[in-house]
A and B are shown apart, each in its own frame.
Chain A
Amino acid sequence: MFDIMFGTLFQLLTTPYLMGLMVIAVAIGIFVGATPGIGGRLSIALVIPFVFGMDMIPGAIFLLTMHAVNGTSGQISSIMFGIPGDGDDAATTVDGYPLAKQGRAGEALGASLVASGFGGIIGAIVFAVLIPVLEPIILAFSPAEFFFLALLGITFIAFLAGGDNIFKGLAVGFFGMMLAFVGMDPATGIARYAGDNLFLWDGLSLVTAVLALFAVPEMIALGVQGGAIAKLADENVQISYRQVFSGVRQMLTKHWWLALRTSVMGAIIGMIPGLGSSAAAWICYGHAVQSSKHPEKFGKGAIEGVIAPETASNAREGGALLPTLFFGIPGSSGMAVLMGAFLILGIQPGPTLVKEHMDLVWMLIWGLVVGNVMAVTFLLFVARWVGKLTFVNGGMLVPFILVVVVIGSYINEGQWENLLILFCLSLIGYALLKYGWPRAPFVIGIVLGKIAEESLNKALALWGGHFFLRPLSLILMGMIVLTLGYAIYKSRAARRPRRAGVAHAG
């Protein structure tokens, strides 16, 4: 194990090609993280065409590094201008912006950037520590359990949608699964939903589906909204390197224990699919308030108020990678798109990864660590300029991104018919976005649909109709029922006060 662990680190650090890819990934990650309208999910979907054809390890490292660092740069505008680069950064704004208004923006940036990197590294370590614990569990899974895991994955990700949306989430997940059945059925040789269209016999292009459901709707929405996030820079925000390194020092000497606690909490929250991306940041912010000797300072410019959410947000990525890689259940919607991209690279989540590709798993863990160190080091020096990206007019980016999307969809299989599929699915994707139907379950559905069917066929062949009576299968079925039950309970509980309010008003 130590051979693989340190061998992969050595390989990563001494391969110029991999390091070069990481530098590019860090640069793109920082750019998309700070630019309005391009979130983590969208950025992964957009670069899929460029990693298509890459080897498994370089492609996966490139994607994961980019995904891991694009949250880091979003915090800059939260602190400097009080404008969260992403929803996750909202917690950082609460204390970050008051600090900036007090003339301590550099201090806040230094502390929060190092906290981000620290969180990312601790998240990767938590993941690494849990590998030996989880290995026997993963290897004990049979096709029957993988069938239920696929269903659990869709249930969990539908749960991500929260409240009443779980039914919409499930419907969208099932829609993704139905599209996964397009193409030649491996058991009977029947071309399902393909008719005479030969290009559909190999199945629907995953790249096209992901781009259509995520990238195009976001771009149309951005184009409709138009404008930049902010129009005027706050000229009062002054940043000196002295301040920045004072923040770094504070984080590493005075608040390291808080950072460690919130990092571990963030990583654990990341492992639980369905907790959502904002939860980690806010829960850890709440923990910082509760555990502080001076809770009254929070909201007015407490440095702990930027450290806690940033460590948690970045540590979450390491945690979320664990269920994604080992169980095929993404911990977040961003991870769902990343998982789709991994499948395109030929990475099959589950026991195969543990048995045959532990080198890849370690490479990804080191990728998280090295990527975070690179991003933080770079940002400590250029943060003040990266913050200016907030003023980029999102509308100007729309045509360029749409062009990348269309090319990505085409070059994936070199079939013009994919453009028609892109168009039709994009219309559905935009309608889903506009009317509040969650889209992340779609990726899970289309990715897990095939796995579920293959697993079910194998389970039926091995154990007949009694496959669901296996102990692990029963546990997984119980988890599905509990998840659904809790979601229904939550939805009813949320509706009760509203109804009561309406009745009272009436």
Chain B
Amino acid sequence: MPAKLICNGRILIAFVMFSIFVVMVGIALTYPAQARFMPLVVGIPGIGLTLFELVKEVRRALHPETESESDDAGSSGLPGDISRLIGQEAPPLTQPDAPKRTPAEESRRERLLLAYFTGLIGGIMFFGFWVAIPVFIATFLREREKASWRFALLSAIVSDALLYAIFTRGLGVELHTGFITDWVMDMFDPGY
């Protein structure tokens, strides 16, 4: 049962939020009175709220039959149900033709997307914008979206060209060149 609770995403996010508040309140306690006042005024109720959510999620996981899943459901969007729409944001867009996937497949796709995003951030930090962005775009389009090599490579080249035209030439921004790229360039050209 504990393993089941730890792997529950709802519990995990409630716990992460709770931990963030606890850590931030803990740090705030080390500040002088005036500096810690607002963090404590906001952080202590934050601990209470997230603890409440955490307990609620644990109870929901332990007693799924009594705690309904409909807490987070958006509104139905039906014309006869206007009263329920008060206080609701627009219901999420549903894609009628979206393929039905198993939870395992959804989870795999999610991990893959997160890995691409991690790769993009890591790539930019270590290799810089000029290298990471075209590689990311070409790989994503080719491997993930099954685009043709021609389209993927063309998109990568056009993206780099636009990056240069808009940001370097147009806005005069100097983009991060990457730690490894800098190191390599420095080896070949010490004045780089």
Interface positions of A (Cβ within 8 A of B): 36-37, 53, 83-88, 90-91, 94, 159-165, 167-168, 170-172, 174-175, 177-178, 181, 185, 187-188, 190, 192-193, 216, 220, 223-231, 274-279, 282-283, 285-286, 289, 299, 332-333, 393, 395-396, 398-400, 402-403, 406-407, 410-411, 414, 416, 419-420, 422-423, 426-428, 430-432, 434-438, 440, 449, 452-453, 456, 487, 490, 495, 498-499, 502, 506
Name, among A178, A188, A277, the residue most crowded by chain B CB atoms within 10 Å (CB to CB). Answer: A178
Give the residues in chain B near A332, CB-CB below 8 Å: 89
Give the residues in chain A near B120, CB-CB below 8 Å: 402-403, 406
Residue from the list B90, B99, B116, B174 in contact with A414, Cβ < 8 A: B174
Q: Is the CB of A395 within 8 A of B171?
A: no
Q: Is the CB of A87 within 8 A of B82?
A: no
Give the residues in chain A near B113, CB-CB below 8 Å: 220, 223-224, 398
A101 to B121 Cα, complex, angstroms:
47
A190 to B12 Cα, complex, angstroms:
33
Give the residues in chain A near B114, CB-CB below 8 Å: 220, 427, 430
Residue from the list B16, B46, B77, B144 in contact with A87, Cβ < 8 A: B77
Q: Is the CB of B95 within 8 A of A227?
A: yes
- For residues 56 through 99 of chain B, which have their beta carbon under 8 Å from a beta carbon of chain A? 65-66, 68, 70-72, 74-75, 77, 79, 82, 85-93, 95-99
Return 28 A-B CB contacts under 8 Å, by A number.
Answer: A87-B93, A90-B90, A162-B86, A163-B87, A171-B17, A171-B50, A175-B46, A177-B42, A178-B20, A223-B116, A223-B144, A230-B96, A278-B90, A278-B91, A396-B147, A398-B113, A399-B141, A400-B137, A402-B116, A406-B120, A407-B175, A410-B129, A411-B171, A419-B125, A420-B125, A423-B118, A436-B71, A490-B87
- Given A227-B97, A416-B176, A449-B42, residue A278 in contact with residue B34 (CB < 8 A): no
How far apart are B114's CB and chain A's nearest CB, in angstroms?
A: 7
Q: Is the CB of A426 within 8 A of B117?
A: yes
Give the residues in chain A near B68, CB-CB below 8 Å: 495, 498, 502
Q: Tell whether B9 is near chain A: CB-to-CB under 8 Å.
A: yes
Q: Is the CB of A167 within 8 A of B53?
A: yes
How far apart are A71's CB and chain B's nearest CB, in angstroms?
A: 10
Give the residues in chain B near A422, CB-CB below 8 Å: 121
- For residues 13 through 41 of chain B, which have their beta carbon under 8 Å from a beta carbon of chain A? 13, 16-17, 20-21, 24, 27-28, 31-32, 34-35, 37-39
